[in-house]
Structure 1
Amino acid sequence: MARKLSFPPGGDIPLIRSDFSDQEKWEAARDAAVATYHAGPTPTDSFSASLQIVDDIQYRDISLDEAVDSLPTTNGKSVDERIADIINLPDGSYPAVLLADAHALDSEGFNFLVIDLYENPGRALRVPASSLWIVTTGLEFGTQLFHELAGQFEEVPN
């Protein structure tokens, strides 16, 4: 039977560690996730993802299916209503969660699993650490929707 987990209280998008097999890989992946990346011609064109780091053994080996089963319900809201909610996220919520699973820690560039919570709950993408700032900034500020990001990154079937 799949576990039903609670996600941490709102704030920055959480990066949840689910692979506890290698502390050094985790630390490297975590550091890469929050590192500053240069995205323009000048040194001031630097960005980093604002993440809530969750390093808690209760999330050990959480699967995409378990994460999806644990998502907050949409309370019968239509896709348009959920998209409107993204722009005005209530305090204590966030538009996505990130998983640092075995695939992420073993992949070149640390390809984290990003799971949509609002537009199409459960839809997932693999996003390299160097691009997390694009995803988190776009989703948190409502400048990009999950389906727009899906065209830029590898989609993960669930």
Structure 2
Amino acid sequence: MSTEEFEKLHEMYRSLYDEVKLTPERAQRCQGEERKRIVRDFDERVSEAEEVTHLQSQRALLIQGTESLNNASKSIERSQRIAAETDQIGTDIIEELGEQREQLDRTRDRIINCTSKIRSRKILRAMSRRLVTNKLLLSVIIIMELAILAGVVYLKFFRK
């Protein structure tokens, strides 16, 4: 029902209400056939008023149903927006996790590379220590041989 129809029904209801309100006074003043006619009119007016009341209650129910439907539609729209936002956030998180995985893979490769470099350094240090130790031993052996050779030359040529 449109607003105009509702206004017409409201005016009709008002006029019926006013008439029904005055009917008992008129019925007391009249007698016979006119009284029966007034009572009949009163009954007709009451049934019309009941019909108008019924129409108004149906209209109110219809308006309430429409409002509920509108609220449900708005709620569904909000839910769809939230679902779209959640989907976008999920996509962003997946992309970020992919980037972090790549970073972790690169970091793992660097650690493996560093570990192999550290092992290489340990091996080089061990080799340089052995080299220094070998040179020292060789130097001590050469010095001892020179000392022995000097002792033999001294004994052979200068000791007589």
Higher helix residue share? 2
Q: TM-score, normalised by structure 2?
A: 0.18
Which is higher, the Rg of structure 1 or of structure 2?
A: 2
Higher strand residue share? 1
Q: Which has the higher contact order (CA 8 A, sep 6+)?
A: 1
Q: TM-score, normalised by structure 1?
A: 0.18
